[in-house]
């Protein structure tokens, strides 16, 4: 069957169509997305502004039309931290529902971590043993660990690349600002290290999301054109050496690096600081890049429910 997932994230809104059934790998059929950056379109109290609300409703309506054109039988729609944390989030959801008929499900941070973990488990399989999964989105950092498909711990922190980057003014930011953010990020992650480590050391550590993929690509990982089954890794020592270099670059210079898009370039320093801090505090020397993340986890869980 052909399924569609509308993912309203902090950076982008994405409709992914896949051909899937339980027990088989979901095969992407088409992709339709815009870079809206909801978390940057906020009023003084953190509410999503009218312009972003207009664009969100319009794009979701377009997704409905695309889904019909693509022969999608079932559409799942979810939103993450940008909607979850906005004081007027419920009003935005109600508007989307009224104008498009689409019911956006707001995932909690723990739900994001659990579904991303499920995707990583299905990708790497049982032979991976205990997994530690790290995912950096636009608004939050998700951490999860476990030996089954349901993690033993699933934690979300407000350390997304987009959110943290807003605390780094300047192009490039000053060295003092970078040090300050580095210190604050490490302090936040340090508070939950025991909650992860108490379940024992992982047999395999994986990183999902565009941030980890971009960082690994800068450091020499294979491009996406070589396919999802090509192994890709991120080594902490190399990342530590990279950070001072990219911290001195302008946004334009970062956008010219391999694997870094113009849209993601402003968030690269913040994402690298969060990734390096998480790897250091969790004693991770290197991790494998997982091609699947939250969207695939939503699809896999939906398929499980259909067959149960």
What is the predicted pLDDT for the residue at 165?
Answer: 95
Q: Which residue has the tokens 């391999």?
A: 258
Backbone region of residue 37 per phi and psi (left: phi > 0; alpha: psi in -120 to 50; beta: other values): left
Task: Determine the Cα angle at 89 with ends 39 and 209, to 5°.
Answer: 45
Tell me 42's DSSP state.
B
pTM: 0.95
At residue 32, the 3 state secondary structure works out as strand
CA distance linking residue 210 with residue 82, whole number of Å: 17
CA pair distance 270, 178, nearest whole angstrom:
9
**CATH 3.30.420.150 domain extents, the chain:** 119-294
pLDDT, mean of each 10-residue run, the chain (308 residues): 92 91 84 87 89 95 94 93 93 96 96 98 97 96 98 97 94 97 98 98 96 97 93 98 98 96 94 98 98 94 78
- Three-class SS of residue 237? helix
Can you tell me whether residue 12 is helix, strand or coil? strand
What span, in angstroms and rounded, lies between the C-alpha atoms of 80 and 78? 7
CA–CA separation, 296 and 243 (whole Å): 30
Angle between helices 236-247 and 268-281 (to 10 degrees): 150
Domain 2-106: CATH superfamily is ATPase, nucleotide binding domain (3.30.420.40)
Token duo for residue 278: 């998480």
- Which tokens in the block code for residue 220? 């020499």
Write phi, then psi, for 171 (nearest 5 degrees). -140, 85
pLDDT confidence of residue 308: 55
Distance CA 41, CA 158 (A): 17
Instruction: For CATH 3.30.420.40, list the domain ranges present in the chain.
Output: 2-106
Q: Where are the alpha helices (DSSP H) in the chain?
A: 50-69, 81-84, 89-100, 109-124, 161-165, 175-190, 193-197, 210-218, 236-247, 251-255, 268-281, 294-307
Q: Please state, as a whole number, how many other Cβ atoms lie within 10 Å of the Cβ of residue 61.
A: 15
pLDDT for residue 250: 97
* Measured distance CA(91)–CA(125) in Å, rounded: 40
Residue-level pLDDT at 41 = 87
Q: What is the pLDDT of residue 283?
A: 98
The residue count of the chain comes to 308
CATH number of 119-294: 3.30.420.150
Check residue 307 and give its pLDDT.
Answer: 61
Secondary structure percentages of the chain, helix, strand, coil, to 5: 45, 20, 35
pLDDT of residue 289: 98
């Amino acid at each position: 069957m052909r399924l569609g997932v509308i993912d309203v994230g902090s950076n982008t809104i994405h409709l992914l169509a896949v051909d899937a059934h339980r027990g088989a790998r979901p095969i992407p059929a088409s992709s339709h997305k815009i870079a809206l950056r909801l978390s940057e379109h906020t009023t003084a109290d953190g509410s999503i502004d009218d312009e972003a609300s207009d664009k969100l409703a319009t794009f979701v309506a377009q997704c409905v039309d695309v889904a019909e054109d693509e022969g999608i039988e079932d559409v799942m729609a979810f939103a993450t931290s940008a909607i979850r944390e906005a004081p007027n989030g419920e009003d935005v959801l109600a508007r989307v529902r009224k104008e498009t008929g689409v019911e956006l499900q707001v995932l909690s941070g723990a739900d994001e971590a659990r579904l991303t973990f499920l995707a990583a488990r299905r990708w790497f399989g049982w032979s991976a043993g205990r997994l530690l999964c790290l995912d950096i989105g636009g608004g939050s950092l998700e951490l999860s660990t476990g030996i089954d498909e349901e993690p033993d711990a699933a934690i979300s922190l407000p350390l997304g690349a987009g959110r943290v980057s807003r605390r780094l003014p300047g192009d490039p930011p000053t060295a003092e600002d970078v040090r300050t953010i580095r210190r604050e990020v490490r302090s936040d992650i340090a508070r939950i290290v025991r909650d992860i480590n108490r379940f024992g050391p992982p047999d395999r550590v994986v990183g999902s999301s565009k941030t980890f993929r971009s960082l690994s690509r800068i450091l020499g990982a294979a491009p996406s054109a070589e396919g999802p089954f090509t192994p890709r890794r991120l080594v902490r020592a190399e990342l530590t050496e990279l950070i001072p270099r990219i911290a001195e670059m302008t946004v334009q210079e970062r956008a010219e690096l391999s694997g870094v898009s113009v849209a993601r370039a402003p968030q690269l320093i913040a994402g690298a600081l969060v990734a390096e801090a998480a790897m250091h505090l969790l004693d991770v020397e290197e991790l494998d890049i997982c091609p699947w993340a939250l969207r695939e986890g939503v699809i896999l869980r939906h398929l499980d429910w259909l067959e149960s």
